[in-house]
Chain A
Amino acid sequence: MIENGIGASVRRKEDNRFLTGKGNYTDDVNVVGQTHAYFVRSPHAHAKINNIDTSEAISSEGVIAVFTGDDLAADGIGPLICGVNVTGDDGEPHKSPAHPALAQGKVNYVGDHVAVVIAETLDQAKDAAEKVEVDYGQLPAVTDTATAAESSQQQIHTEAPNNICYNWPFGDKDAVDKAFDAAHKTASLDLINNRMVTNPMEPRAAVGDYNAGTEEICLHLTTQNPHVHRLVLSAFNQLAPEHKLRVVGPDVGGGFGVKIFVYAEELVVGWACRKVNRPVKWTSDRTEAFMADAHGRDHVAFAEMAMDDQGKFLAMRVKTTANLGAYLSTFATMVPSYLYAFLLAGQYSTPLIYSEVKAVFTNTAPVDAARGAGRPEATYLLERLVDVCAEAMKLDPAEIRRRNFIPVEAFPYQTPVVQCYDSGDYPAALDKALSLADYDGFDARAEEAKSRGKRRGIGLSSYVEACGIAPSAAVGQLGAGVGLWESAQVRFNPTGNVQVFTGTHSHGQGHETTFAQLITEQLGVPLENIEIIHGDTAKTQFGMGTYGSRSLAVGGVAIAKACEKLIAKGKKIAAHALEAAEGDIEFAEGNFAVAGTDKSMNIAEVAFNAYVPHSYPEGLEPGFDENAFFDPLNFSFPAGTHVCEVEVDPETGEVEIVKYSAVDDFGRLINPMIVEGQVHGGIVHGVGQALLEGCQYDSDGQLITASYMDYAMPRADNVPSFDVDYAPTNPPDNPLGVKGCGEAGAIGAPPAVINAITNALGIKHIDMPATPENVWRAAQLAS
C-alpha cells in the first residue's frame, strides 16, 4: 500500500511557506537598482488625445523617464493581440481593432493606459504622474451591452461598424423554428449575466530586469501561464526573441482567469527595463485592478425552450449579446462563442439548439475569461430557463430535470452543439444532492419559516462544464492560435530524490501536493523526496499553463506519461543489474523485482545506476530523466447538481443561504481535501455573483464600483458552510480518470441561488445580483 498516494487528503507541501510569510509573490521580488513604474490612465471613457505634455513630469524629482505610445511605436513594439479567431455570419474574421499598450491618439475606457512614469521610488513616480498634462477631447461613451450595436450609438472603432465584433450564429435555425412551431408548450426568459471583476487577492504586478551583457530580459509576472506570456510577448509584441526572454510566475496569489492574459503593463515594463537599462517594477493597486484587469461575464440574453406534453425538451433557441469591452483581450473572442454556445445542451438530451451571439465593443474595460468562462453564462441561462419550463408544465424542478437528463447508457454522448460528453450519471448526482439537501423535508421547513415571517425557497442547478482544455486539433479547427497540450519532465537526481517540471502553474490549486501524490503513487517515491517545479520558462521545458481546470486532466497525464517512460527504462537497468531478462522485471511500489524471485532493487538504486553507469546495459543512454507531452483526446466534462436553500426576509430583502449542498462528478479524486476546498471557493465565487457582485459603469462610462467599498465581495458572514459530496464516473478518454474541479462551484452556484430566491418569492425571475434592494422590490411587486 502506497502512503500518501492517490486518494489521500495529504496536507499541502506548499503551506509552510505561505503560513510563515515566506511566499514569494511578484511584489515581493526586489532587484538591486530597481526603479518603479506608475501609469497615467484615462479619466474618460472615450476621448481623443489632442496633446500629451510630459515636460513638467520629466523634470520632477527622481524621475528617470516618461514614455507615451509614440515611444513604443518608435521601437516597433506591437499592439496587444487576441489569439482566437471567430468567423462571423459575414464569413469574415471577427473585427479586431488595434490595441496599443499605450494609447495612440485616443482612449477608449476609464483606466486606459496613456503614459508611464519611471522613477526612483513609487511615490516619486506617482507625484510625477500627476504632472503629465493630457489634453483630452471627450467623446460620447457607449456602456450599455444591450444597445451598444444600435445605429444611434457612438462609433468606437472605425474597424468595427456598429460596435460589432462578430455576429456568430450556430445551429440549424430552420429545424429549431419548426420545432417551436410544433411544440406543445414553450417557455422563455430574458436575463442578464452581470459583469464581474475577478479580483484575485493579489493584484497584478511585473518586475522587468534587462541584462545588457546577455541581452536577456527577465520578467517576473503575476501569470497563470509563463510560456504563453513569453510566446505572445515575443512573437506578436516584438519584446525580445523567445530565447532572450525569461518569464517567471513565482507564487501567484489567485488567478481565476484574470492572470492568463497579456496586459499592457506587462509589455511596457518589459520594454522599459531595457529602455532605461534599469530594473522596473510595477504593482497594480486595487483601484487600477478594478479599472484595468479584464472583467468577466456581461451578457444580455433571451432564451426559449420548446417542449412536448410531457415536458420533454424539443428545441432551444438563444439570442445573446456579449460585451467584450473597449478592446479584445487575449482570449476574449472565444468566451461567449465556443466556451458558451457549445455548453448550452447542459445535462439534457435537447435534440435541437440554435444560438446567435452578438459580441459588441463598449467603452468599458476589456472582458475575457473569468472562472468558468462562458460555462457559467451558459449554465445560468439554461438552469434558470429549466425552472421557468418546470413552472410552465407544473412539474417539480427536480422532475423536469430527470425527464430530460441524458441517460447514463447514452455516454459517450454527442450533443447537438459540437461537444461529445465523456461520461456522466446525472440522475445519481441529482438523487444524492436531493438527499443531502433533505429536499423532501423542504415543505415543512418552509412552513416553519413562514411562521416567523420569512420565506424559504429551494433551488437546483444541474450543470455540466468542459474542462481539460484542450485537444489541439479541435481548438485549432475553431480558430485558436495555439495547441493546448501539456508537458512534464520527471527527473531523478543521483541521490534518488525527484524534481518534476510541469508546464502548468499553481496559484492556489495545490499542485505541489497533488502532483507529488501522483508521483508517489506511480513511482513509490516518498512525498518528501519530491519537488514540483513550475512557473519559470528557464526551468520548465514548455507549458500552456493553468486555466479551464486543465492542470490535472492534461498536465497530470503528462507527468504520468513521463513516469511510464522512467519505469520502462528502469526495467532495462534493473534487468541488467539483477541479471534477468527485461521481460521478467516487474515494477510495483517503487521496486523493480525479478518475477518469482526475491531479487529486487528500488527505484533510487536504479536512478543511481543510471547516473553512475559503471555496469550498465549496452547502448542505453545514461541518466534517469524523462520528458513527456500529452495532448488530450477530448475535453473532460465534470457535472453535478447543486441545491441551495435560502430564507428571504420580505421586509428587508435580505437573503440568507441556510443550506447549500453540492454533489459533483470530477472523476477520480487525487486529494479529496484539496478538491473540496476548490468546490467551496467556487461556490462562494458563484454566490458572490448571485447575491453581491456587480460591476457598474454609469452612462458616461465612469466606473462606479472601483473599490471594495463599492463592489461587494463575498465575506465570511455572507455565506454558510457547505455540504459537499461526489457522484463520480470514469471518463474513458482520460488516462488518469480525472475531470477537473476548479470552476465547478462558480458554474453551479449562481442558478441554484437565484432559483431558490424565485422559488421563495414565487416570481418568474430576478436578475443578479439579488441584492437586498432588488429582492425587496421583487417581494413588494410579488405581494
Chain B
Amino acid sequence: MPTVSMNVNGQSISRDVEERTLLVQFLREHLKLTGTHVGCDTSQCGACVIHVDGVSVKSCTMLAIQAEGCEVKTIEGLANNNELHPMQQAFKDNHGLQCGFCTPGMVMSGIDIVNRNGSDVSEETVRKELEGNICRCTGYHNIVKAIQAGAKNMGVE
C-alpha cells in the first residue's frame, strides 16, 4: 500500500492508502473529515467540492494519491476559530442552506467562483458557474444571493 502525504487544513498528514482510494474517501474515512459529502457517483452533484492548491476540485474525481504534496482545504478548515469565513456567514445571513448536505460543496464552490470572478460577480455568472453543484432544498435563489453577498465581504478585487 502506498503512502500519501499532504497538508490538510494547515496540518501535515501522512497515511497508507489503497491506490483506488478516492480523495473524498480518504478525507471522510481515513481523516474523519465528514464535512465533505458524497451525493452521487458520477461527479455531478458537487457535494464533495474542496480546494486543492487553492482551486475547487470535486474530491470524488481524484485519487488520494494524486493529492501527494498538495495543500487541501475542506469546509472544516474555513472558519477561523469561531469566526465564520465571510462566505459561510453570507450563507447563514441569506438562508442559503436548508438540510445542509450540499452546503459544504456550495460554500467551497462559492469561494472559488468569487476568487475567479471578483467581488462584483453577477447573478448570471454565479448561476452558470454553479452548474456543477446540485441542491434539492433551496431552489438556488438564496444560494445565489449568498454567494453574491459573500463576494462583497471576501476582500477580493
Contact = CB atoms under 8 A, between A and B. Distances in A.
Contacts of B68: none
Interface stretch (A84-92, A138-146, A504-512): A504-512
A715 B130 contact: yes
Interface in A277-294: 283, 285-287
Interface in B80-132: 84, 88, 91-93, 95, 97-104, 107, 123, 126-128, 130-131
Interface stretch (A235-243, A248-256, A265-273): A248-256
B139 A15 contact: no
B142 A11 contact: no
B36 A19 contact: no
Contacts of A18: 97, 100, 103
A716 interface: yes
Given A19-B107, A23-B100, A716-B131, A707 B44 contact: yes
B90 to A, nearest CB: 10
Interface string B21-32: 000000010001
Contact of A20 (B39, B75, B134): B75
Contacts of A256: 136
A253 B92 contact: no
B33 interface: yes
B74 interface: yes
Interface string A659-696: 00000000000000110111011111100000000000
Interface in A691-747: 707-709, 713-717, 719, 721-722, 745
A685 B41 contact: no
Contacts of A11: 92-93, 95
Interface residues of A, number: 59
A707 B41 contact: yes
A709 B41 CA distance: 10
Contacts of A251: 99-100
A50 interface: no
Of A251, A509, A680, chain B has the most CB atoms within 10 Å of the CB of A680
Interface string B42-57: 1011010000000000
Of A203, A283, A677, A709, chain B has the most CB atoms within 10 Å of the CB of A677
A681 B92 contact: no
Nearest to A19: B88
B104 A21 contact: yes
A69 interface: no
A111 to B, nearest CB: 14
A283 B34 CA distance: 14
A211 interface: no
A196 to B, nearest CB: 11
Contact of A21 (B18, B75, B95, B126): B75
A20 B88 contact: yes
A151 interface: no
Contact of A19 (B18, B42, B103, B128): B103
A543 to B, nearest CB: 19
B111 to A, nearest CB: 12
A20 B100 contact: no
A721 B148 CA distance: 13
B40 interface: yes
Contact of A123 (B20, B107, B143): B20
Given A21-B34, A253-B37, A715 B134 contact: yes
20 contacts: A16-B84, A16-B92, A17-B100, A20-B79, A20-B84, A21-B35, A22-B76, A27-B38, A200-B99, A253-B100, A256-B136, A287-B41, A507-B99, A677-B139, A681-B98, A683-B139, A685-B136, A715-B131, A716-B127, A721-B144
